[in-house]
Amino acid sequence: MKYISTRGGMAPAPYSAILLEGLATDGGLVVPETVPQVDSEQIESWRSLTYPELATEVLSFYATDIPRDDLARMCAAAYAPAGFVAEEIVPVTELEDGILLVGLSEGPTLAFKDMAMQFLGQSLEYVLARSDRALNIIGATSGDTGSAAEYALRGKAGIGVFMMSPQGRMSDFQRAQMYSLTDDNIHNIAIDGVFDDCQNLVKALSSDLEFKRAHELGTVNSINLGRISAQMVYYFWAWLRATDAVAEGDRAAFEVSVTVPSGNFGNILSGHLAKAMGLPIRRLVLAANENNVLDEFFRTGIYAPRSAADTHATSSPSMDISKASNLERFIFDLLGRDPERLAAAWRELDETGRIDLSAELPRLETEFGFQSGTSTHADRVATIRSVYEASGTLIDPHTADGVKVAREHVEAGVLMLVLETAKPEKFPEIVLEATGQRIGMPEHLAGLLDLPQHVTEMNDDEAQLRAFIAQHAVQR
């Protein structure tokens, strides 16, 4: 398996190489040269596997240049039971009639980002050790990516982390998780701006090949295909668990739909690739918050990112994104994987501030299975309350966005899976507003909010960021 760029200007490269690059060398995003195919018999043969065993099977289609025994060891370390609250790693439970909750927040930072980041931490250290290289991760986070990356990479040999977050736009819990770390290789940078400003800085530095090479820069945002590939695993796991009770002869054609709270389009892109591989997914339902650029795209075919000033600060802050980096990968598929058509679309975006793909609108649902919807603060509060009153289960505001939109797209006879985003303990204010329940810290994180915090505040200034990275970058 080799990987190419959406922009068409990168020579095909193996998995271990693209893990270290993040962005393609021509400024595009890395995609598989071809999407591997699995049939129903092969998927069925995975039913009895543990989560790390299933991860080995799925990732073996993508990490073809890594010996299988080494891949299995990395997956076993990434998804060791000691690092997750739930014994099965990803529990799948009934939330209400026709809707199942896929529990992706059982890891060390209580967010779904752990599922990919724990594997990425193992695989990056493995590849770097064999290539005698260092890697300095530059990242942008609107909430959970940063802590998941830092907990996966803290203390890793040959790796530095420079994680940018928007000042004042994360919850107290999210800030405490990141800023309380004291490892020498972790650098938190609070940018005076919004998430998109942080992300633009990542892209600017990643696109400067001379600076990138000089300081061994890479990314762990969802633009890194290593994360996308690792996230595919739980789509297969969730389908297998959802169909455990289905009669054996009926399983092969049993379709489920999946609702995914989405900001940067990485998580749902993994579902798009799993569906393209052959997993029986009927619909991929994107749930947006008030920053509903992606919902507008899937309803109208017009992609019109908003400015930082027009990006709302909401009670589901990890989705406060108005320019979804990973959408380029999907548009590449939508336009027949043609780099020239993609380039034309991006020129249109640069010149007009939008891309008009309304001619492709019917294919978004009929061919690719996408639907979408928007949730507001009032919707989140009502959904958290109704789920709690009906089942006693507390959900976080991002997952509530997912449940609200999922309810609008449930079809008779088709199970709807909702991907959990984070644990409600990370957002106690909205849980209190919705239910009257005061939830404390999980026992293993008691005292987190009281720890000293370490963060460098910085203007939205590329030159200042470059100087900081040059001073603190890890070298071999």
What is the sign, positive or negative, of the torsion defined by CA atoms of 224, 297, 321, 448?
negative
Bridge partners for 31 per DSSP: 4
Nearest residue to 370 via CA among 260, 286, 463, 449: 286
| Residue 323 a catalytic site member | no
Run of H or E residues at 471: helix 462-472
Q: Decide: 5 and 24 in contact? Cβ < 8 Å.
A: yes
As a whole number of Å, the CA-based R_g of the chain is 21
Cβ atoms within 10 A of the Cβ of 460, count? Answer: 18
* Gap between the Cα atoms of 289 and 291, Å rounded: 5
Q: Determine how β-strand 217-218 pairs with β-strand 186-191.
A: unpaired
Run of H or E residues at 4: strand 3-5
Most distant pair of Cα atoms in the chain: their distance: 62
Structure tokens of 439? 């939830």
Q: How far apart are the first and last CA of the chain?
A: 29
Residue 264 Cα to chain centre, angstroms:
7
What is the sign, positive or negative, of the torsion defined by CA atoms of 338, 344, 347, 348?
negative
Kindly give the residue spans of alpha helices, DSSP state H, lying in 87-208.
Answer: 113-131, 144-153, 172-179, 195-207
* Gap between the Cα atoms of 302 and 323, Å rounded: 13
Structure tokens of 242? 């959802």
Amino acid at the residue 420: E
Range list of β-strands (E), 170-248: 186-191, 217-218
Structure tokens of 175? 């800030």
Per DSSP, the three-state class of 30 is strand
Catalytic residue among 113, 156, 203, 323: 113
* Gap between the Cα atoms of 264 and 222, Å rounded: 8
Q: Decide: 188 and 456 in contact? Cβ < 8 Å.
A: yes
Q: Decide: 363 and 28 in contact? Cβ < 8 Å.
A: no
* Gap between the Cα atoms of 185 and 163, Å rounded: 11
* Gap between the Cα atoms of 204 and 212, Å rounded: 10
C-alpha neighbours within 13 Å on the C-beta side of residue 242: 30
> What residues are annotated to the active site?
113
